[in-house]
Structure 1
Amino acid sequence: MPLRKLTNVTVLALDDSSAGNAFLTDAQQYRRELLAHCYRMTGSLHDAEDLVQETYLRAWKSYKGFEGKSSVRTWLYRIATNTCLTALEGRNRRPLPSGLGQPSSDPLGELHERHEITWLEPLPDAPRDDPSDPSVIAESRESVRLAFVAALQHLPPRQRAVLVLREVLQWKAAEVAEAVGTSTAAVNSLLQRARAQLDEIQPDRDGDALPPESPEAAGLLADYISAFETYDIDKLVDLLTADAVWEMPPFDGWYSGPADIITLSKTHCPADKAGDMRFLTTTANGQPVAALYMRNPQTGVHEAFQLHVLDARSAGITHVVAFMETSLFAKFGLPATFPDA
């Protein structure tokens, strides 16, 4: 049977039957929210894309057995959840450096790259043209913020699935039990343990994060970019909160407080003068992003270098994760070099 490309998801081509066409029409609208669901489960944009593709393949293969007892959307979520659980068997969690259990690092010390660790990745935001769309509700900003997704990675996969289905998607315990193949009592037990674990980790879910489109967040982002582009790094002290955290996977260190963050930037950043760094802006995980392009001293071209995902609050910037995986630029629709023209 031939293959057809559908909204970036490869599915087995359907015949011309009305049922097949109806499935395609109905199923494709849930791709974005299924991507967010698989991302919460795995902490990886790349893995989530593959798992959504696998979900659609599994759905088509079993579509003739779909009896319509639930909506297509619910049915796809069940398949996606079990696809994720299968994929997560035997895999290590995806952490951020601050989640490795080690104390904050010396900003004057040596940097250590740890490519053997599968790090947490950011998720590009989707356009929010219709806030009443179910995919927008399912992908609420709080449920994909980096702090929450990083906290989810501490949970065993089955607890992770139960917590996401119950608290993010607001499914009933009986629905979750059917989806993951267990009893309602077991679901309630798994949920209780998951909540206790998250309370211990204390993920940042206090709800005071600034929306990236707000004037306050835009102002913080603009001042943050200006500090780097003009190489006036000391300006960061006015933007960062006293307990701000900086980390940059695949380096395993993390740094706390404006003084250490500024020292780190001055000591280890390849730039040394104004103009060496240029930025484009976007959003990820419901947070503002500054995409850094560093000048290549050999060519003078500003090349993709880091994606800075900021946690912007009314008190200032509380957390920066500078992702150094440059392949993410394409995933965000960003060019490989800064468009100087």
Structure 2
Amino acid sequence: MNTPPRKRKNTTSSASTNPESPNSDITPSEDPASAIIDVPAVKVPELTEQEQRDRLHLERKVERAFFEAGKALAELRDRRLYRSTHSTFEEYCKDRFGFERRHPYRLIEAAVVVDNLMQMCPIGTQTETDSSDEQEQSVGTQNETDSSKQQMCPSGTQILPTSERQVRPLTKLEPQQQQEVWQRAVQVAGGKVPSARIVTDVVQRIMERTQVPNTYQIGEVCQILALDNPELRGKGGCWGIVNHVGEFSCTVKTWDGEVTVGVKHLRSFNYLPDECQQMQQICDRINRVYSSELEESVQKFLESLGRLKRSYLTGLEEKLLSVLESEYNEK
């Protein structure tokens, strides 16, 4: 019986004895998977001066994309350049760019903030346009003098935001506070563009530092100002009775329950003590009869009482509320 040739073994043996084999420098006792093979280094060519200028120019275009969008949207809105096709700016932005209602306004607000930050160091933040070849060439010259010019600027101002989200926490601050927060955020980020989280943290610390002490008193009648607080959605314009005073917030009783509100989201009606007591009685009466199980029209009536800007009920309002109270008592 003939034995088949052992070709696999011969091939392996040949490879192990061939000095030109890729694995010839691995001894039989070594694990090929753990062997170290020298790979010749490939030298990466340095950027030319023109490539460096192109890179800087393109990087600045990327950084300024949301800023340019905000500036353009502001002009479209202010000049009403959408009027030939759309009745409102919001509809135009949704159809043309796919923006939800709030987004274009955020971009516009962000552009205003960046404009303010650029005022701290206008030399190092020249605007660029695609149509100017001469300006592209000037980027290289400006880059050569950046280090000397930045010495004239406050720390961090040569670094600008690269996204709308980084700017959003600054939009509710005064211009001087915006500059202060941005410089501090750049420092916290180690001299780099700070994340939105870092900016938000710095804003929060400054807001806490500058908060006015709570001067509200229990029993005082205040109006709720929703402003930009999503937790107060639906409560804007409602009045409430202060029943707890914290360091920077109050708990107020409204027509349908209690809510804790920051001091900046409250405005006192400055009612006299007798008027505050009268409003307390009205609030208690509404609370006793209000229920989500009531008919929608009745709910709306009670909600309207919860938004009064006077310290009394009219004759008709008094009669209607009395009818509801009698119905409630019968139940």
TM over 0.5: no
The interval holding the TM-score normalised by the smaller chain is under 0.3
| Bigger Rg, structure 1 or 2 | 2
Question: Which of the pair has the greater relative contact order for Cα pairs under 8 Å at 6+ separation?
Answer: 1
TM-score, normalised to structure 2, is 0.25
Decide which structure has greater helix share.
2
